[in-house]
Structure 1
Amino acid sequence: MKVSIVTDKQRLQVNNGGVVVQPEERNAEGVWYYQDTTKNFDKLPIMYKGFCAYNLALNDFKLIHGDTRIGIVQINDRYYSFSEPKEAVLFCRKPSTYIESIANNAKLNPELIQLLDLHTQFSNVASYGDLAQVSSKPQMKADFGTQTDTHFYEKNIVKNYEWNEWELRRKALKLANLRRRLTKSIQTNTSNFRRENSTQVYLPKDQFIQTKRDNYSNVPQPKVYLSGIRGHQRRDDGQFLPANVKKIDLTVDIDE
């Protein structure tokens, strides 16, 4: 008996025509996304490491890579890919049944749990990345610290509390003296019905008057020139002759 082994490359060449799941065939659960109409199509987190979900659910399961060209279906916030359109249609008709079958196959074959990232479906199984962070040696030492307040804040503070005995004695004597104190008032005939009176006046206001036109006057600026003040002549006896001072009026009239 001759068995032919088909590689993933040869399997993808069968669907070179770009066969996708047609709208009339999607009479089942799930939302379909296609490469030509979906942004960031390559970044969608596909379940089972991109293997065909339908073939993993069979009893003789096969690890066959899904062909994203036929579309990716979203069921319960999870994305699944398939190798052929007819397998995608069959899976979407009963998705819960096929998903449960994949979990049963993983229980019988535990190596599939880590291979297909199925540790989220098993609470007692951790991923390889989580196991690598756990140290095999027991930790005998650990760093810890404690912190306490330097001054505790008391909430039940009594402001009237006094610890000094002499201060308490002084307050007691003060209260005792107040018991013997009396308040007296005297009223005479002239002080009867007297009360304080207050009056209010209106202060004078500042008033301004403005005329219709502005007027002004101009006066001449007086200018006087004195000549003969300097350069006095002397007599033979050394005395100065009287100065011949002349006053010249240089004031200019306004009209000029």
Structure 2
Amino acid sequence: PQFIDLADIWMGLQDEVIILSSINNFLWELQNLSNKVSIVNDYDQTKLDDIAQHVDILTDAERLERSMGNLITDCGECLIYYPNVMKDFEKINLEFLGFCAWTFATAKGALIPGNPNNGVAKWRGKFYAFKSPEAAAKFGKNPDRYVYEALNFVRNHPEYIHLFQLHEEIKAMQSQEELTEKGLQLKVRHNQKIQTDVHILPPYIDKDYTSNVWELKRRALRLLY
């Protein structure tokens, strides 16, 4: 039994090393980007106040505090797991680093923290957290669509691939269909070679054509005299 516990501790340390390595790589990329930025545009606070005058702006901590206790009860066909019911709940690997999956898919990559204490949804073997029960209910109406929209957004914005560790998922989407409002439209990416025809138009030979410079000069003199 002690050896099993030691093995679990060792596996946990390996997971920590992987996480720290990912964070280190991410911070290194941010540092490289910050060094390349030479001009910082100051935002106009008055314009921001005008835009958000009717919106209640919350911090992540305030948002989590307000949603505490509002358990997720409806998520379509997704299975719902709660912290006090599922064993090793804290070890669940949440997709999108625990950010609200529905908000990320519908708000063009908005990173709003989910609240797993209110429950997480399991769909096709993966777990998703949400900012509120309403977001979970909307996600449950069509989970495949929202997951695909999120991955399609990540595919078009490569900076999220390393952040969410979605290399395998994005690689698997290279030849899949693209989701649109009208339905699925095939968008296949592959290499293709094109050979241009040598003679597109029918051949034509001008009997009076010549490339001889002296002949051209002789014809020019005949036009003058």
Give the TM-score taking structure 1 as reference length.
Answer: 0.44
Match of 1:11 in 2: 63
Does residue 118 (structure 1) correspond to residue 170 (structure 2)? The answer is: no
2:41 paired residue number? none
Q: Cα distance 1:124–1:85, how it changes in 2: closer, same or farther (>3 A)? A: closer
Structure 1 residues 15, 92: closer, same or farther in 2, change over 3 A?
same
| 1:124–1:68 distance in 2 versus 1, CA, 3 Å | closer
* CA displacement, residues 91-130 of structure 1 (integer Å, 9 cap, x when unaligned): 11101100110112112211011111211212289xxxxx
C-alpha contact (below 8 Å) 2:108/2:153 kept by paired residues: no
1:88 aligns with 2:136: yes
Give a deviation string over 1:33-55, Cα, whole Å, max 9, x none. 00121111111111111111001
Decide whether the 8 Å contact of 2:67 with 2:131 is kept in 1: no
Displacement after TM superposition at 1:61 (Å)? 2.7
Contact 1:51–1:82, Cα closer than 8 Å, also in 2: yes
What is the CA deviation profile of residues 197-236 of structure 1, one whole-angstrom value per residue up to 9, with x for unaligned ones?
A: xxxxxxxxxxxxxxxxxxxxxxxxxxxxxxxxxxxxxxxx
**Structure 1 consecutive aligned stretches of length 4 or more whose deviation exceeds 3 Å:** none
In the TM superposition, residue 5 of structure 1 has moved relative to its aligned partner by: 4.4
Aligned-partner Cα distance in 1 for 2:172–2:87: 36
* Number of aligned residues: 121
State percent identity of aligned pairs: 29
CA distance in 2, matches of 1:33, 1:48: 17
Question: Structure 1 residues 59 and 21, CA, compared in 2 at 3 Å: closer, same or farther?
Answer: closer
Aligned-partner Cα distance in 2 for 1:5–1:15: 15
Deviation at 1:60, TM superposition (A): 3.0
Deviates more, 1:40-49 or 1:115-124: 115-124
Cα 1:84–1:124 change in 2 (3 A) is closer
Partner of 2:151: 103
Name the structure 1 match of 2:216: none
Flag the structure with more relative contact order, 1 or 2, with Cα contacts below 8 A and sequence separation at least 6: 2
- Judging by fraction of residues, say which structure has more helix: 2
**1:20 equivalenced with 2:68 (yes/no):** no
Q: Say whether the 8 Å CA contact 1:57–1:105 is kept in structure 2.
A: yes
Q: Deviations over 1:136-165 (max 9, x none)?
A: xxxxxxxxxxxxxxxxxxxxxxxxxxxxxx
Q: Separation in 2 of the partners of 1:38 and 1:105?
A: 31
What is the letter of the counterpart of residue 9 of structure 1?
A
Residue 123 of structure 1 aligns to a residue in which SS? helix
Aligned partners of 2:170 and 2:151: how far apart in 1?
Answer: 9
Normalising by structure 2, we get a TM-score of 0.50
Structure 1 segment 1-256 matched on structure 2, within 5 A: 1=47, 2=49, 3=52, 5-16=57-68, 18-22=69-73, 25-26=74-75, 28-123=76-171
Distance 1:73 1:124, change over 3 A: closer
CA RMSD of aligned residues (A): 2.0
Give a deviation string over 1:44-80, Cα, whole Å, max 9, x none. 1111111110011014331011101220111111111
Structure 2: give runs of 5+ residues left out of the alignment.
Answer: 1-46, 174-225
Q: Is the 8 A contact 2:155 2:170 kept in 1?
A: no
